[in-house]
Amino acid sequence: MLFLLRFFLLGSSFIYGYLGTVVYTDIHFLTLDLNKLLLSSNYFFVTSSINIVYNFFIEIGIILILISLFIKLALAPFHGWSIDVYEGSPSISSFFFSTISKLSFFIFLYRFCFITFYNNFGEIWLIYNLVVGFLSVIIGSFGGLKQKKLKSLLAYSSISHMGYCLLAITSFSKFGFEMFFFYIISYILTNIVVWYVILSLKKIDKIYKEKTAKDVGDLFVLSRSNKVLSFSLCLSFFSLAGIPPLLGFLAKLGIFLNLILENFYLLALITILCGTISTFYYLRIIKILYFENLIVSKLYFFNSDNVLIFCFLVFLLLFLFIKPTLFYILIHKMLFF
């Protein structure tokens, strides 16, 4: 990911070279003061040329930093690396890419967009977030339909969910940020349940004593060998699909409601349709778990370490749908504006 670091450093150098700082609050006040100075100048032509150069360098820096963040978050059309990396990496590394790192990069994007340049460059955020978020939802929803590898399917699922998160912060409203944090936290909780099952299931094989399950077809006999684990995995995929009564339904409902409140009616309609389409590849896994007829299959043994944490996370998927008030209050208090 050396090219990712180069994008980020180049964008930061543009901003630092022109403003002399990389501190969020300093950049915010410097851009405000410089705009006021340019607007109050009596020399119209000098002001216009300085303003053009100022906007050009700042916008280039912003765009480069955004591209580096979009690549790291595997948002379309910068998602090409994620499919091969998820499939080719060890499962524990794929789990880290799809779950742990998402929240930190989105928080950086949230602080970078809202605290620094939003008052002066709000149109840039609106255009890029809408386009990239919309493409991510579409590609993630349609790309996973033909996937037979479990980690590739989860990679496309991650692309679509990150697109929903990006659409949530497009409006830069308090409600939008609350729904973003609600969505990303609920996605992480659900994804941990899915990856716990993937990492804990081991196939008993004559050649490979412990072979990590990677294919969707490897889940054929899970419902017969471990009904509780199969039911937990079923609940987590239903939550990712946004089916009630699970936490994922409230998270997606909040995203759609935010788009409607910001008058993005067509975008809300298309994302709802894409969410419906993406439900198919989650339901396909449920079909494999419970309704597939097989004559021969492979057995599993289950690593039961940290099973209490796993049961608690599955319980949260149901409980936070029934009693989401505390979750909403914590997210409301977490925001600083």
Neighbours of 139 (CB within 10 A): 19
d(CA 181, CA 83): 25
pLDDT greater than 60 at residue 141: yes
d(CA 65, CA 178): 24
pLDDT, tens digit (0-9, with 9 covering 90-100), for 153-187: 998 999 999 999 999 887 777 888 889 889 999 99
pTM: 0.86
Q: Which of 283, 284, 257 has the alpha carbon at shortest distance from 272?
A: 257
pLDDT, tens digit (0-9, with 9 covering 90-100), for 282-296: 988 888 888 876 655
Residues in Cβ contact with 175 at an 8 Å cutoff, skipping those fewer than 6 apart: 258, 261
The residue extents of the domains of the chain are 73-334
Helices (H) and strands (E) in the chain, counts: 15, 3
CA 108 to chain centre: 13
Indicate the range of 81-85, 198-202, 276-280 predicted with least confidence: 198-202
